[in-house]
Amino acid sequence: MKHFIKTAIIAAIITNPATAQDREDNTVLLNETGAENLGIKTVMTEERDFEETIFAIGRIEVYPGYRAAISSRIPGRALEVLIKHDHPIEKGDVAVIVESRQPGNPPPTVELTAPISGLISATHIVTGEPVSPDKILAEIINLSKVYALARVPEQMAGKIKPGLLAHIQIPAVPGKIFEAKLEHLGALADPGSGTVEAAFVIQNPESKLRPGMRAEFDIVVNTRPNVLAVPEEAIQGDTANPVVYVKDFELPNAFIRAPVIIGETGAGMVEIKQGLFPGDEVVTRGSYSLGFVGNDSGLSLKEALDAAHGHEHAADGSELEGGEETHDDHEGHDHGEHAGEAGHDDHHIPTWMLIYAALTSALALAFAQLFWNAKRRNRNTHTA
């Protein structure tokens, strides 16, 4: 099937020299070393559920009710301090032993225990220091779950409602995306920043997320099925003329610069309205560098195709027409008395046949592409 698609494409190029020239002008040929140095990575374009999102930034904060303080009900002095800053403590563990000011020999003591499990986030007492009921001796925070508080632009707040899903990235925890649902939207807007607080709850059993960490939010406000999309990093060029680099279907380390028409952007993906087909392999990592790299393979497109196909091509990489000969063939051709006009007429192809070949090739290419895409989708479905 792949051979049939290649044949149909090459046949279309034969009858459309402009297409062949475009391919030559927009093809980047790399050698194997060049491709490795650029770290080229590709992904297969496919139709997917496309998420329209609102981007916001914010911070990680302690979840309400997951903070506690240790204090004494009686005055005295700290006889022993058993806690350390940033160290864990379990509910009921003794944190501070206070010697009472009441008379006695020795004076009576009181053990102050942790009201919750968590980490000691602050200490305000040392051994021997006086203790009074109005003084906080230590603070504990429990990080088993945390708040991720997004600052949503107030003009976008109307699209936000409880229950919406967000994909949250924490720069301090690279390579992981946390998913959480919106618990509540702030009742008041911040007039200084022009934002509204949106609170998401994240389960944090390993305590990797700490209060104060920066967070980046993609809040999903709508989902559309069967949308062709590629990662944002695949899109290059300027806003008016975006392009992607597509892995050539037959040449190794060759990439074709393809203009595209884009749509919405969301959750790190860009909608492709025109310019790609499902199954195209687009360059993600290394795509920016391809815009500045010339042909470092040492081969022209013609030479690369000659090597791949095992026969001669035209200078622009297109297939030679039926009657066209290379220079070497021409030198070896017998122009003696036995080669008459009838022999040259045998190589003549009527115009109507070329037009017919072009039409049939285009139709064959279209049907082949549809069939191949369907085959890819079926294969992906079975694999999944």
Distance (Å, whole) CA 193 – CA 203: 28
pLDDT bin (cut points 50, 70, 90) of residue 21 is low
Which residue range forms the structural domain that includes residue 178? 53-63+144-224
The rounded distance, in Å, linking the Cα atoms of 83 and 290 is: 57
Mean pLDDT of the chain: 78
Which domain CATH number covers 354? 2.40.420.20
- Nearest in space to 321 (alpha carbons), one of 302, 303, 345, 348: 348
Asked whether residue 21 is assigned to any structural domain, the reply reads: yes
134 with 152, same domain: the answer is no
The reply to whether 263 falls in a domain is yes
> Are 129 and 149 contained in the same domain?
no
- Residue 20 in contact with residue 317, Cβ under 8 Å? yes
Residues 4-22 have a mean pLDDT of 45
- 170-228 residue pLDDT tens: 999 998 999 999 999 999 999 999 999 999 999 999 899 999 999 999 999 888 888 88
Answer with the one of 224, 241, 257 that is the final residue of a domain.
224
Q: Which residues of 3-22 are buried (b: 16+ CB within 10 A; e: fewer)?
A: eebeebbbbbbbbeeeebbe
Last residue within a domain, chosen from 141, 156, 175: 141
Domain count, the chain: 3
**Domain match, 216 and 238 both:** no
Percent of the chain whose predicted confidence (pLDDT) is above 90: 40
Residue 267 lies inside a defined structural domain of this protein:
yes
Q: For residue 369, what pLDDT is reported?
A: 55
**Pair (251, 238) in one structural domain:** yes
Nearest to 241 by CA among 291, 277, 309: 291
CATH number at residue 186: 2.40.30.170
pLDDT reading at 14 higher than 70:
no
Q: Is 360 in the same domain as 300?
A: yes
Q: Give the range among 6-15, 19-28, 355-364 with minimum mean pLDDT.
A: 6-15
* 330 or 23, greater pLDDT: 23
Task: Assess whether 234 and 353 both reside in one domain.
Answer: yes
242 and 269 together in one domain:
yes
Q: Report pLDDT for 359.
A: 57
Would you mind telling me the total number of residues written for the chain in this entry?
A: 384
Output the domain CATH number for residue 110: 2.40.50.100
Domain identity same for 186 and 134: no
Phi, psi (5° rounding) for residue 187?
-75, -25
Q: 366 pLDDT exceeds 60?
A: no
173 and 212 co-located in one domain: yes
Residue 16 confidence (pLDDT) above 90: no
What residue type is assigned to position 208 of the chain? K
Residue 384 lies in a domain: no
Question: Measured between alpha carbons, how far is 109 from 235 in angstroms, rounded to an integer?
Answer: 69
pLDDT, tens digit, 9 for 90 and up, residues 61-74: 999 999 999 999 99
What mean pLDDT is predicted for residues 114-139? 96
Residue 263 and residue 132 in one domain: no
Distance CA 97, CA 127 (A): 9
Which of 200, 224, 248 marks a domain boundary?
224
Q: How confident is the model at residue 368 (pLDDT cuts 50, 70, 90)?
A: low
Bridge partners (DSSP) listed for residue 199? 149, 184
Q: Which amino acid is at 167?
A: H
Closest among 3, 46, 2, 7 to 378, alpha carbons compared: 46
Residue 11 has pLDDT above 50, yes or no: no
297 in the same domain as 183: no
Instruction: Reply yes or no on whether the pLDDT at 257 is more than 80.
Output: yes
Shared-domain flag, residues 118 and 172:
no
User: What's the pLDDT band for 271 if we cut at 50, 70, 90?
Assistant: confident
Q: Which residue has tokens 């206070």? A: 98
Q: Is residue 300 part of a domain?
A: yes
Whether the predicted pLDDT of 235 surpasses 50: yes
Q: Two tokens at 15?
A: 């009858």
